[in-house]
Copies of this chain bind each other. A is one copy, B any other.
Amino acid sequence: MHHYVGVDLGGTNIKIGLVDEQGKPLAQDSFPSQISDGPETVVKNIAARVDALIRSAGVDRSRILGLGIGSPGPLDMETGVILSSSNLTGWNHVPLRDMVSKATGFAAILENDANAAAFGEYWGGAGRGSQIKHLVMLTLGTGVGCGIVNDGHLVHGTSGFAAEGGHVIVEPGPAGRLCGCGQRGCIEAHASASHVGHIAQDRVEAGEASSLRQVLDQGKPITSKDVFQHAQEGDTLALSVVDRTADYLGIQCVILCRLLDPQLIVFAGGMILAGEFLFSRIRESFARRTWKIVKDQVRIVPAELGNDAGFIGAAAVAWDGHKRGKLVLAGQ
């Protein structure tokens, strides 16, 4: 049995894991990123933690075929360089792949974190098994992350800016909300966890009746969790926000099917804890709007890897990179 190392580089925490060739994690660790200490120190920490993890798991280093890193972008994936990132303050043009390869001694590969998470679900999560080759993942968080697997490969496009599904326009009219990216009407501005909270709060503050007012009365902002909780308890405004969110997500699914014809559309992020209350509505919006001329075979399902998707996905990228000769061992 061979193994792969996955490194999930976040702005707050770094998660690492040792994953077998079927996508199952054997051992994992998590520690503060300390991004402000700079790349050299962070890479030194990663290497020490990876080394300790391998020892504690009792795995022979010769059985480890590669190391994958999932990082916020934008990146230059060919050269393994972080160009810049709003989540990694001060990290500009950091050749992270080669730095980590040198420090750990493993051949390495760098991938966008949202792509890596999607590839993790493909390899070891909702898409596990040889029947799935085409999958799209959408993570409903502060933003809407996206990764696309087509015929078993991540879709990168010309400059690595493909699979930015959070910025597909689903509301092109005057009702389109301004997105952080500068576009109007992006799915992110209508259905991300943070915007679901904002939309409900805007309506309550505008004077609509809602049990959500008690959240504001406690001096707290309205979150998507509040919206789903109050909707499930029957609040009319909260329910209308949930319905509209699911409606937009259904439109997004139609667009994804028309362009990519995936077998699975996987939703991730905290909002999916709402379970069937959310998924049944997304599927209903999709079914109402999608093709009548042929039957869609897509399944719309929750992600399975939770917070482990990042490092499992990074390991998945290493597994794929090994098969395709894309791993790079930096000179010692």
Contact = CB atoms under 8 A, between A and B. Distances in A.
B184 A289 contact: yes
A171 interface: yes
Contacts of A258: 161-162, 164-165, 167-169
B181 A259 contact: no
Contacts of A159: 261, 297
Residue among A158, A257, A290 with max Cβ neighbours from chain B (10 Å): A158
A150 interface: yes
B259 A289 contact: no
Given A151-B156, A289-B169, A162 B294 contact: no
A227 B105 CA distance: 65
A171 B19 CA distance: 44
Given A157-B150, A172-B171, A182 B260 contact: no
Interface in A219-256: 248, 251, 254-256
Contacts of A162: 150, 258-261
Interface string A257-282: 11111110000000000000000000
Given A165-B258, A170-B172, A158 B290 contact: no
B151 A259 contact: no
A134 B156 CA distance: 10
Given A254-B183, A291-B183, A260 B157 contact: yes
Residue among A133, A170, A183, A262 with max Cβ neighbours from chain B (10 Å): A183
Which of under 10, 10 to 19, 20 to 34, or 35 or more describes the interface residues of A?
A: 35 or more
Contacts of A151: 153, 156
A148 interface: yes
The 3 A-B pairs with the shortest beta carbon distances in the complex, nearest first, are A157-B261, A182-B292, A162-B261
Interface of A: 74, 133-134, 148, 150-151, 153, 155-165, 167-173, 175, 181-184, 248, 251, 254-263, 289-294, 297-298
Given A133-B158, A168-B255, A169-B170, 18 more contacts: A134-B157, A134-B158, A150-B162, A151-B153, A155-B259, A157-B260, A157-B261, A159-B261, A160-B261, A161-B258, A162-B258, A164-B258, A164-B261, A165-B259, A167-B258, A169-B254, A172-B289, A183-B292
